[in-house]
Structure 1
Amino acid sequence: MKPSPRRRRLAALMAVLLLPVLALVSAPSASALGNGLALTPPMGWNDWNAYGCNVSEQLVEQTALAMHNNGMQAAGYQYVNMDDCWMASSRDGGGNLVANSSKFPHGIAAVANYVHSLGLKFGIYEDAGTATCAGYPGSYGHEQQDANLFASWGVDYVKYDWCNIPFGNFSGQSHQQVAKTLYTRMRDALSATGRPIVFSMCNGWDGSVQPATWAGPVANLWRTTADIQPNFGSMLSNFHNTVGLAPYAGPGAWNDPDMLEIGNGMSATEDRAHFSLWAEMAAPLIEGGNLVNASSTTLSILTNRAVIAVDQDPLGKPGTQVSSSGGHDVLARQLSNGDVSVVLFNETGSTATISTTAAAIGKSGASSYTLTDLWSGATSTTTGTISASVPAHGAVMYRVAGGTTGTPPSGTVHAVGAGKCLDVPNSTQANGTQVDIWDCNGQANQAWVNSGGRFTIYGGAKCLDAYDNQTSPGTKVEIWDCNGGANQQWQVNSNGTITGVQSGLCLDVYDNGTANGTKVELWTCNGGANQQWTVR
């Protein structure tokens, strides 16, 4: 028996008293801008990753023609987007942006017209601050003027960056508040033009802005990560920082882990994994490579219709992690026809067998299921086990048909005894907030990612943490900034328990409670149902 029964009774009483209050707090949910655009994740190209500041009229037009001819347009890629450095160093006498005349001798409208003549759409770059990241004029104070100019040029997509923000003009406001103000200004300016323009927020990614929690009504997509680099480690980091944000995304409102680096330096195996993960997460597919001289291997990856169909599935439900252990990840995504897309991803440097089951991905009710390998095209059947030998840094992607599909897994940590989910109360992100259990709802405050021995939430912004490095029974379990400490390391055990690596104690639902709001703590492992967890 645990000591302090009076403490237990008081806590139970407080939980009952607080329930009406907690029930009034709405969990975040995906909500879209409502401009009718990007109902599936945008697909296209952007010059930055391969060319940096060396954008030009010739490059944009050559790439558009390549996309028209090499199968990318036919596969669904629409947007031809140019990034920073397209403009002159100063505005004209009327305050208008001006194209760099040596790079764009015929002007931006002419380039847009050429792109449109091929049946493609044209995108442009600007910044919410006083200057772009490369030092060219930003849109701060010129939002409507710039939006009107873009519309007059025939722009279909605006990528809006987050450099050189005049925070001094927003005294006392947080970076998130400033971001809401400035991105809403441009949203409204674009809307006022009357032209349908996809709005892409390239916002601050350092944890200060947290766009997924509020950007749905403001933009069609928002960045969730640092700028991607053409290496496996960068791609992996962007995956980890995005996969837990699935509850916030949906038709018209997408998490953006940054552009694709297909053909830019990773191996073909890594490129296929990259493409599989982005499709499974319902991420925008904006390629950042050299398409004029793309290899047949690069094009075969970018134009895989079966994988693209998963990314573009009209249900718009991003995939979530079913399991993650030892660098072996299983993701599942419910599709509009009842199928489930499954990715078996191997983060490690050695070939590994990765497995899951039909039940774990939300499938039931059939004696067998059909598996279609979306990279090889091979089909097979299974009575329930879904398994493959996955190469180092590789992924195997299946489409699973048959039976019925229930609610897909959503990265939850499920308290078996209570039948509820590990939850951050009121969706707060404040350090020191003690976690509790609550009815499973698929929202971001229950979307845990188990990776590298840590349980992260809110896109990796916070970690599950044992208070103050304490190791005694009764230590509260909270969220805190991820810092790599031993008190943020956890072991998922085969007997259903989760133990703190530092303390050796079990993750425990206080006093065997089953009510919403019951707190979670560390306690001596005892085999009780309140110490049994399923990581989904």
Structure 2
Amino acid sequence: MFTLIVRMRPRRLCRNALVRVVVLATAAVGALVGVPHGADTDLARTEPTAVTSNQVSVPSAPMGWASWNSFAAKIDYNVIKAQVDAFVAAGLPAAGYQYINIDEGWWQGTRDSAGNITVDTSEWPGGMSAIADYIHSKGLKAGIYTDAGKNGCGYYFPTGRPAAPNTGSEGHYAQDMLKFSTWGFDFVKVDWCGGDVEGLDARSSYQAISDAVAQAAAATGRPLTLSVCNWGKQNPWNWGAGMAPMWRTSNDIVFFGNAPSWSNMLSNFDQTLHPAAQHTGYYNDPDMLMVGMPGFTAAQNRAHLSLWAISGAPLLAGNDLTTMTAETAGILKNPELIAVDQDPRGLQGVKVAEDSTGLQVYGKVLSGSGKRAVVLLNRTSSAQNVTVRWSDLGLASASATVRNVWSQTDLGGFGTGYTTSVPAKDSVLLTIGGTEAAGTTYEAESTANTKAGSAVNASCANCSGAAKVGSVGNGAANTLRFNGVAAGSTGVKVVDIAYVNGDGKPRTAVLQVNGQTATTVSFPPTGSWSASGTVSVEVSLAKGSANTLTFSNASAWAPDLDAVKVSDLPGTNGAEIIGQQSGRCADIFNGTITNGTQAALWDCNAGGNQSWTYTARKELVVYGNKCLDAYQAGRTNGTKVVIWDCNGGINQTWNVNADGTVTNVNAGLCLDASGAATANGTALDLWACNGGSNQKWTLQ
């Protein structure tokens, strides 16, 4: 059984009188594949698609200010009004900052007989609509706050006010979201204190909230931006895309009353790096900024913003704007910094080098050809030289120009890379203009398996609009599959997707790479059904040509996908650790990043949780910052093999041996599939080396 889907490209239909035939195949029938550019095919085809010719701008990460870091629950109309006035006076709106977000403390949990939220009008004269109106009067957008549970954070963690029960929206999701929208709010942050205590399922809870947000926006005509704030619990990077524009990846960056912390900033940055999840208007959120808060120097403020910009994070200031210095305002408003963060391509930066422990290079692919942003980060306690190589960034080894973002000065052209001294516990932010290395384009074409369908004639009556692409027969989703996608090494690649969307709003499709967790990709309008555009995602591919990219859409309206271009980021290259006995890979379940998570066998799919870099320091690194670790430096049979923050410990060093064994340097024991089992989920541990095939591994 298979589904036949006819996709029509109006302009090309008029010119070529052809309809592209797409076949969705099951195991019994060969699947549709992407044909590498230049490959022969017996089917009629259009000219090759120029995949990168028209990069479409995707929605940018929100920018603004939020009340929590400086005021906690001690807020009222006058506090917020004063911040709005200072926000405007400092020129932040002109720099791109839009939102004024009212956090915890505005509501003390009371409702009327109909269940509607009520507030203390002595603190909020005119109710919440009045402060929203004031924010709007300055040309800004207004944000508000609630919790996914019955009781919000003010009940469990009272800060500045007595514990307030019933400050959550559970049981009132639709009612509360409609109320927020009716009051005039444009943004809602939904926290997780109640949800966490109650043991709610985060994905289903936030999906219900997302649905309520969409219903409220449809009812009022006012878009409502949802901020999922469940602190990285239950791995929101696996399911946030398509549900909300942003999701928190870590705990609070600073607790009220505490001074800003360099280590907390680095921790939140490390936890937000999930490049496959961030794309097309969906963003990992490492929390609000500490820039300008007492205790941070100007250099620390710049480094903080550099890391948030390279990761493409939301920029929500948290300092008291009424006491902000001109220096801090200038740091927040640096136009080149903001341009890096808000780049229209919407991708996240990734770690591309760490030649010595703590000397790290992060690269972000920007819009335009050969454009990159780079952070040189020195985590050590002394000044050090740090080098970025063009080849690590996916650029050709030709001269490239370098510009310092903070000094806003051109540094000149450099041959194959750039080296500079970076102060202790500091960073340097650069933009690079070079030449893209070659990528490979795969066009959406039918294969020999569909030759019987050949091409179908179509009349120009179809040229005026998009063809409806729907399910047929068995109700299967629309599916387009690119098989045989090649990669020289396992690691992160950039995939540019050429498409057409003549609607006035985005269309979506679900992308699954190999057997990895799927992600929802948004395709903004391209202006008309005769204009193509390109959006980009980052994916992790396996070495070789067995990779598969599958796009599907369960709705009747899907974007018209033309081709994909796959480009390498060599600095991310790693390897799968494949068991000889099982044929399965060393895996960290469900993309979890928690220290102490035990590694296990799973079907190989080359996901970010299966891509390991073997460093010159004999570390096996996953996610760019977690090391394979013999738990608690154990030396006995059965010691768990887990992930932990890389710390240079000898229990995190491994010998990859010619006989296929991988031995822990500290323990002298072999990496072992527990009990010689081969099933998915088989735990990895240490065991005395015995020559067994469950202790033999291939890194590729």
- Using structure 1 for the length normalisation, give the TM-score: 0.76
Counterpart secondary structure, 2:307 = helix
Q: What does residue 188 of structure 1 align with?
A: 211
| Residues 435 and 477 in structure 1, CA contact (< 8 A), matched pair in contact too | no
Work out the CA distance in 1 between the residues paired with 2:113 and 2:602: 59
Q: CA 1:427/1:165 → structure 2, altered by over 3 Å: closer, same or farther?
A: closer
Match of 1:5 in 2: none
Counterpart of 1:512 in structure 2 is none
1:21-74 residue CA offsets vs partner (Å, 9 max, x unmatched):
xxx9xxxxxxxxxxx998211111101001111112122222222222322111
Q: 2:146 aligns to what? A: 126
Query: Take 1:41 and 1:369, find their aligned partners in 2: how far apart are those partners?
Result: 28
Please give the alpha-carbon distance, in whole angstroms, between the structure 1 residues aligned to 2:282 and 2:95. Answer: 22
Q: Structure 1 residues 425, 165: CA separation in 2 closer, same or farther (over 3 Å shift)?
A: closer
Q: Which has the higher strand share?
A: 2
Secondary structure of 2:139 counterpart? coil
In structure 1, the partner of 2:408 is 377
Letter of the 2:247 partner, please give it: W
Whether the aligned pair in 1 keeps the contact of 2:353 and 2:360 (CA below 8 Å) is yes
Q: Distance in 1 between matches of 2:122 and 2:57?
A: 33
Select the residue among 359, 373, 385 that pairs with 1:328: 359
Kindly state the Cα deviation for residue 214 of structure 1 after the two structures are TM-superposed.
Answer: 1.5
Instruction: In structure 2, give the amino acid aligned to 1:75.
Output: A
Q: CA–CA distance in 2 between the matches of 1:451 and 1:199?
A: 43
Q: Quote the residue 2:235 is aligned against.
A: 210
CA distance in structure 2 between the partners assigned to 1:90 and 1:297 by the alignment: 42
Query: Amino acid of the residue matched to residue 348 of structure 1?
Result: T
Match of 1:227 in 2: 252
Deviates more, 1:338-347 or 1:481-490: 481-490
Instruction: Determine the C-alpha separation between the residues in 1 that align with 2:60 and 2:143.
Output: 17
Paired residues for 1:188-337 under 5 Å: 188-193=211-216, 194=218, 195-205=222-232, 208-229=233-254, 230-243=260-273, 245-264=274-293, 265-324=295-354, 325-337=356-368
Alignment match, 2:435: 403
Query: Is the counterpart of residue 96 in structure 1 residue 121 in structure 2?
Result: no
- In structure 2, distance between residues paired with 1:435 and 1:247: 21
Deviations 1:486-529 (A, max 9, x none): 67513799xxx998441468999xxxxxxxxxx999999xxxxx
Distance across 2 between alignment mates of 1:492 and 1:112: 60
Equivalent residue letter for 2:205: L
Identity of aligned pairs, percent?
34
Q: Retained in 2: the 8 A contact 1:411–1:446?
A: no
The SS at the match of 2:387 is strand
Secondary structure, counterpart of 1:397 in structure 2: strand
**How far apart, in 1, do the equivalents of 2:134 and 2:276 lie?**
38
Q: Choose the corresponding residue for 2:666, options 494, 502, 517.
A: 502
Q: What corresponds to 2:126 in structure 1?
A: 106
Q: Give the corresponding residue for 1:76.
A: 96
* Change in CA separation of 1:222 and 1:54 when aligned onto 2, cut-off 3 Å: same
**How far is the alpha carbon of 1:356 from its aligned partner?**
2.1
| Counterpart Cα distance in 2 of 1:355 and 1:320 | 15
Partners of 1:161 and 1:328 in 2: how far apart?
35
Q: Deviations over 1:243-301 (max 9, x none)?
A: 2x122111221111100000112111111111000000011101111112211111111
Displacement, 1:453?
Answer: 8.9
The offset of 1:440, in angstroms, is: 5.5
* Alpha-carbon displacement from aligned partner over 1:66-102 (angstroms, at most 9, x marks no partner): 2223221111111110100101342223221122323
Is the counterpart of residue 413 in structure 1 residue 574 in structure 2? yes
- Structure 2 distance, partners of 1:337, 1:351, is 33
SS of the equivalent of 1:323 reads strand
Confirm or deny that 1:446 pairs with 2:611.
Answer: yes
SS of equivalent residue, structure 2 residue 271? helix
Number of the residue aligned with 1:347: 379
Q: Which runs of 5+ in 2 are unaligned?
A: 1-26, 32-55, 156-163, 255-259, 438-566, 579-583, 673-682, 690-695
Contact 2:612 2:620 in 1 (8 A): no
Amino acid corresponding to residue 41 of structure 1 in structure 2: A
Q: 1: distance between equivalents of 2:420 and 2:603? A: 34
Tell me: CA distance 1:404–1:203, structure 2 relative to 1, closer, same or farther (3 Å): same
* Aligned residue in 1 for 2:478: none
Does the C-alpha gap of structure 1 residues 505 and 404 become closer, same or farther in structure 2, counting only changes over 3 Å? Answer: farther
Given that 1:262 and 1:271 are in contact with CA atoms closer than 8 Å, whether structure 2 keeps it comes out as yes
State the alpha-carbon separation in 1 of the partners of residues 191 and 617 from structure 2.
31
| CA apart distance, 1:478 | 5.1
Q: What is the match of residue 10 of structure 1?
A: none
1:152 aligns with 2:182: yes
**Residue type of the partner of 1:407?**
D
| SS in structure 1 at match of 2:251 | coil
User: Which stretch shows the higher mean deviation, 279-288 or 319-328?
Assistant: 319-328
Which range moved further: 336-345 or 177-186?
177-186
Deviation, structure 1 residue 128: 0.7
How far apart, CA to CA, are the structure 2 residues paired with 1:216 and 1:202? 14
Structure 2: how far apart are the matches of 1:423 and 1:451? 20
Q: Distance in 2 between matches of 1:284 and 1:60?
A: 20
Q: SS of 2:194's equivalent?
A: coil
1:454 deviates by 6.7
Looking at structure 1, the residues matched to 394 and 120 of structure 2 have their Cα atoms a distance apart, in angstroms, of 53
Deviation larger for 320-329 or 285-294: 320-329
Q: What letter matches 1:489 in structure 2?
A: Q
Alignment of 1:381-530 (within 5 A): 381-405=413-437, 406-408=567-569, 411-414=572-575, 424=587, 427=590, 432-434=598-600, 443=608, 445-446=610-611, 457=622, 463-466=627-630, 479-480=642-643, 488-490=651-653, 500-503=664-667
Alpha carbons of structure 1 residues 448 and 189: separation in structure 2 relative to 1, 3 Å: farther
CA 1:317–1:143: 2 relative to 1, 3 Å? same
**Aligned residues of 2:376 and 2:429 also touching (Cα < 8 A):** yes
Change (3 A) 1:451 1:43: farther
Q: How many residues align?
A: 468
**CA positional deviation for 1:236:** 1.2
1:414-438 CA-partner distances (Å, limit 9, x unpaired): 4799xxx986288565954446896
Check whether the contact 2:375–2:428 (CA below 8 A) recurs between aligned residues: yes
Alignment match, 2:516: none
Q: Which moved more, 1:346-355 or 1:42-51?
A: 346-355
After superposition, the CA RMSD in angstroms is 4.1
For 1:101, give the aligned amino acid.
Answer: T
String of CA shifts for 1:171-201, please: whole Å, max 9, x gaps.
xxxx5x6112221111111111113111101
* Deviation per residue, 1:285-338 (Å, 9 max, x gap): 011111122111111111111011111111111000012342111100100113
Q: Residue 246 of structure 1 contacts residue 444 of structure 1 at CA under 8 Å; is this kept in 2?
A: no
2:137 paired residue among 101, 117, 125: 117
Deviation at 1:346, TM superposition (A): 1.0
Deviation at 1:365, TM superposition (A): 5.1
TM (norm. structure 2) is 0.59
Is the CA contact 1:223–1:258 (under 8 Å) kept in the aligned structure 2? yes
Q: Deviations over 1:331-351 (max 9, x none)?
A: 001001130111001112221
Give the deviation of 1:142 after TM superposition: 0.9
CA apart distance, 1:132: 1.4
